[in-house]
Amino acid sequence: MIFLLVFGLGISTQAADRGVLAPIARSTFEKKVVPLFEGRLSVGDFEVSLPRKTLTVTNIVLLTPPGFGRQPIFEVARIKLKVAPLPLLKHQFVVKEVVISEPVITCYQRQDGRVNLAAELMRLVKKKPETTETAVSLTIDQVVVENGEFRFWGPLPDRSVQQIFSLSSFQAELSRVMMPNPHSVPSPFFLKGRLVSAHQGMVSSRGEVSLGVTPVCFKADAEIQGLFLEDFVPLFPQALVTPVAGYADIRSHFECWGTYLENINQVEITGLRLRSQGGLAGKFFLGLPAAAVAAILADENSTINLSFVVRGPFEDLKVDLWTPIKTALQKQFQEKFSSRVAGVIPALKKKATGIFRRGKVE
């Protein structure tokens, strides 16, 4: 989405003169780019400086697709492009640098698990070009993101939706962008930021993406350090047990081919403590009474390692992390604590029997 905006800004500056450059830039942008977003995209001011060879656009807002809340999916305080003027004579738009200041991206997950970002991407992929005008080439040496924020909104058990966490103060860089890109030359990128919930962690990612081609492809490695598990309990409203302590370090690998995503995750959990939602009997978790699982972990100080995969086409992709996490955790739990299960379950049964007997006496 960002690069559709940048490409539109590029082509909007070509057929303009000194006196009316900014108005023509706005008119061309609104004609070529705004319709792609079905009236949900708005911009503030266009500022052009010929001596500095810059084009600046402020207050860019893209509303979220219908059915995904009211928060804008994308907001940017300012995009500034530094342009090389001579290549314009050859219909080549060479941008020395793009600086995107204070972008805010909002990811909204509905009750059915669908996510606004995936819905918007699929809509753009399916949208066919409506014009056959002479192509304009765009080359960007470097894209810099300053002081960005990513917000994740997720569903709660009462069917409301609230912000679960954010990635704040993130910085990012992307190099060597070409549109069109017939040889699928990848553009390397890097980003880092602070994961903010009740506690704070760190997020970083490095990879490469092929833009200007259909389909778009990318691969990346990401790392999350210091993710406190109890901060993310709202993401698993139906879980029989929930974490009350523990933190995780996560290493992930992402690969995307067109509209298909595969995400492989390696998780290291330290100091995990669980609270059972189902009492001593009748509720099972990891193939054991939920209370037994919580009891086994009560005095456990070792590290739990697990892995899980999320894959599927964007069109049908739903954020259901609990199922793969539970499967991986069950395997790890049975391997790691099988010797302790035999001792804990009889004790719980004895305790439960005592409670039931007292109930009969009363």
User: What confidence tens digit (pLDDT) does each residue in 64-102 have?
Assistant: 988 888 889 999 999 998 877 666 556 566 788 999 999
Tell me if residue 25 falls in helix, strand or coil.
helix
Task: Give the domain range for residue 152.
Answer: 1-214
- Asked if 48 and 163 sit in the same domain, the reply is yes
Fill in the DSSP letter of residue 55.
E
Q: Read off the pLDDT band of 188 (50, 70, 90).
A: very high
Contact between residue 33 and residue 42 where contact means Cβ atoms under 8 Å apart: no
Of the candidates 360, 357, 348, 354, which has an alpha carbon nearest to the alpha carbon of residue 282?
348
**Using CB atoms within 10 A of its CB, is residue 103 exposed (0-12), middle (13-18) or buried (19+)?**
buried
Q: Read off the pLDDT band of 356 (50, 70, 90).
A: very low
Q: Read off the pLDDT band of 319 (50, 70, 90).
A: low
| Distance (Å, whole) CA 111 – CA 235 | 10
Residues sharing a CB contact under 8 Å with residue 295, sequence separation 6 or more, in sequence order:
344, 347, 348
Tell me if residue 152 falls in helix, strand or coil.
strand
* Residue that terminates a domain, selected from 169, 195, 214: 214
- Asked if 222 and 262 sit in the same domain, the reply is yes
- Asked if 119 and 234 sit in the same domain, the reply is no
Q: What is the pLDDT of residue 222?
A: 96
* Residue that terminates a domain, selected from 168, 184, 214: 214
* Residue that terminates a domain, selected from 194, 214, 234: 214
- Asked if 79 and 166 sit in the same domain, the reply is yes
> How much of the chain exceeds pLDDT 70, in percent?
63
Most confident of 72-76, 81-85, 110-114, 265-269: 72-76
Of the candidates 263, 264, 192, 273, which has an alpha carbon nearest to the alpha carbon of residue 228?
273
- Asked if 79 and 185 sit in the same domain, the reply is yes
- Asked if 156 and 223 sit in the same domain, the reply is no
Tell me if residue 195 falls in helix, strand or coil.
strand
- Asked if 247 and 348 sit in the same domain, the reply is yes
In total, how many domains does the chain have? 2
**Distance (Å) of CA 140 to CA 117, 174, 180, 211, 218:** 24, 9, 12, 11, 18
**Using CB atoms within 10 A of its CB, is residue 76 exposed (0-12), middle (13-18) or buried (19+)?**
buried
- Asked if 22 and 170 sit in the same domain, the reply is yes
Q: What is the pLDDT of residue 190?
A: 96
- Asked if 75 and 26 sit in the same domain, the reply is yes
- Asked if 184 and 162 sit in the same domain, the reply is yes
- Asked if 288 and 168 sit in the same domain, the reply is no
Q: Which amino acid is at 22?
A: A
Q: Read off the pLDDT band of 53 (50, 70, 90).
A: confident
- Asked if 207 and 101 sit in the same domain, the reply is yes
